Amino acid sequence: MAGRRPGAPDTRGEIVAAARAELAQRGYDGTSIRAVARRARVDPALVHHYFKDKQRLVAAALALPRGMSDVMEPVLEAPYDEVGRTFVHALLSCWDDPANREAVVAATRSGLGSVEQGEIARDLVLKGQVAALVEKHCPDAPPLTSALLLTQMLGLLTARYLLEVEPVASLPVDTIAEVVGPTVQGYLALTGDEGQ
C-alpha cells in the first residue's frame, strides 16, 4: 500500500502513540483501528498483529509511562495529617508530566464518553491510587471514602485537562494541593456511620 511502511523496531511504540493521540482527541468510541493505523502510517493488519483487538490497543495506549507505584510512594509514607495534600500533589504532578499527560487525557475522555467505557476513567484513579491510599491510611474506611476520593480526583482531571477550566488549568500543583488537600483529608476521616 502506497505511503505505508512495514514494521520496524519502534513500530509498536508509534502505534501506541498514535492510539493515545486518537483517544485523547476522539475518545474511545471515536477511535478505530483504521484511524490509529492511518495516524501511525501503517497497515491496519500491522496494528492487529501487535494488539489483536481494540481493547488491547487501548490498554497499551492508556498505560502511563511513569510508574504509579513510584508516584504513590510519598503518599504512602506521608504522616496521616498530610495525606490529603500529598495525594493531590502526587497525582497532579504525575498527570502534568508530559510523558503521562496525553494518556491521562485519553483515559479521561474515553471514560467519560459512555457508560460502558466509564470503567477506564474510574480505573485510572480508583483501582490503583485510591485503593493504595485507603489500604495504607484508613483500611476501615467505608466505601463512601473511596467514592468521594474518586469524584474529587476525576473532577480535577476533567477541569484541568479536558475542559481546561481557568484558573484550575494553569494553577501550580502546589496551590491546588494546598486548596484541595484538606477536602481529601476530610474524606479520609469518614466513619462507618457517615459512609452508610
pLDDT beyond 90 at 26: no
Whether residues 112 and 170 fall in one domain? yes
- Say if residue 120 is in the same domain as residue 23: no
Identify whether the C-beta of residue 159 lies closer than 8 Å to the C-beta of residue 168. yes
pLDDT, tens digit (0-9, with 9 covering 90-100), for 179-189: 999 999 999 99
| Residue 164 within any structural domain of the chain | yes
pLDDT, tens only, 123-138: 655 567 788 888 889 9
CA 89-145-123 angle, 5° bins: 65
Q: Looking at the structure, do residues 34 and 88 belong to the same domain, yes or no?
A: no
Higher pLDDT, 97 or 170: 170
Output 64-67 pairs: Cβ under 8 A, ≥24 positions apart. Answer: 64/94, 64/99, 64/100, 64/103, 64/104, 65/99, 65/100, 65/103, 66/94, 66/97, 66/99, 66/100
pLDDT of residue 19: 87
Same domain, 121 and 34: no
Mean pLDDT, range 68-94, rounded to an integer: 89
Domain assignment present for residue 196? The answer is: no
pLDDT at 79: 95
> Is residue 30 one of the residues assigned to a domain?
yes
Residue 17 domain flag:
yes
Domain interval for residue 40: 11-62
C-alpha cell at 54: 481494540
Kindly tell me the sign of the dihedral angle through the C-alpha atoms of 158, 159, 160, 165. Answer: positive
Q: Where are the alpha helices (H) located in the chain, listed in sequence order? A: 11-26, 33-40, 44-51, 54-62, 68-77, 83-96, 98-113, 118-125, 131-137, 143-157, 173-188
Q: Would you state the cell numbers that stand for residue 75, as one nine-digit string?
A: 503518599
Examine the domain organization and report whether 40 and 91 are in the same domain.
Answer: no
CB 91 within 8 A of CB 71: yes
Domains of the chain: total = 2
Q: Is 0.85 topped by the overall pTM?
A: no
Inform me whether the pLDDT recorded for 8 exceeds 60.
no
Same domain membership, residue 104 and residue 38:
no
53: CATH: 1.10.10.60
Q: Are residues 85 and 131 in the same domain?
A: yes
